Amino acid sequence: MSRLDLLEIRELRKSFGGIVAVDQLGLVVGAGELVGLIGPNGSGKTTLLNVITGYYPPEHGTVQLHGREIGGRSPHQIFRAGIVRMFQHVKIFRRLTASENLEVAGRAAGLPAGSSRQRAASLLDRLGLASHTHDEVGGLSGGQQKLVEFGSCFMSEPKLVVLDEPFAAIHPTVKQTMVDVIVERHTAGQAFLVVSHDIPAIMRLCPRTVCMNAGTVIADGPTEAVMADHAVVEAYLGGHVAR
């Protein structure tokens, strides 16, 4: 592993019964990189994220963060090591307020109560949710709920933020808010791994893209080159590149 590599995955395998979901996969995310991860449904993307974030143990291979093995650790241990995740299907405390949802994440990361409350207020303001600070999250729109979960990713100082379909089924204004925050934080040195079927967003946002199919990486490189790759077009883009 290079001293500039943040996450390094080698020869990763994960199967369920006789179905191999991830097969001898290798992936490196450098410190401060913004990487897109695409692939057709069933290509193994979510399984890969579940291994990276501790929800599945690896069957074979290594998952290292800054050179230290994290494969098989619990989600909480991996969170404390510096990897945070936003899920495809919103994971929030519906009966807590927007502020309380973020404060929970802050307290889990080890922030004192006062610091957690202040950081939550700052993030909610940046996300356009200040007026909903004390509202129960279950009463907010789907897009606002996603913003609350998105904001919780930044209550700590994560080494890597993993976003699973952050732009799915949300209003363009909410999407733009997320994009703006990702760009701001990436410019400041934050590393991201963004899984999305929103190919135009990936093309605008991510300098580098990785494409999976059948549990393995079929293309990895500059986003424009990956989107034009014949194997990617055949496997995922239906014969044309969306722009």
DSSP notation for 82-108? TEEEE-SS----TTSBHHHHHHHHHHH
163 and 242 together in one domain: yes
Do 121 and 193 lie in one domain? The reply is: no
Same domain? For 171 and 66 the reply is yes
Q: Per mean pLDDT, which range of 3-7, 48-52, 161-165 is the poorest? A: 3-7
- Do the domain assignments include residue 62? yes
pLDDT for 1 beyond 50: no
Task: Indicate if 57 and 121 belong to the same structural domain.
Answer: no
pLDDT in tens, 64-91: 999 999 999 999 999 999 999 999 889 9
Tens-digit pLDDT profile for residues 173-194: 999 999 999 999 999 999 999 9
215 with 135, same domain: the answer is no
Print the domain residue range for 116. Answer: 95-157
Work out the number of other CB atoms within 10 angstroms of the CB of residue 2: 10
Q: What is the CA radius of gyration of the chain?
A: 18
| Strand-pair partners of 164 | 195
- Number of domains present in the structure of the chain: 2
Residues 31, 224, 61: CA angle, nearest 5 degrees: 45
Q: Is 222 helix (H, G, I), strand (E, B) or coil?
A: strand
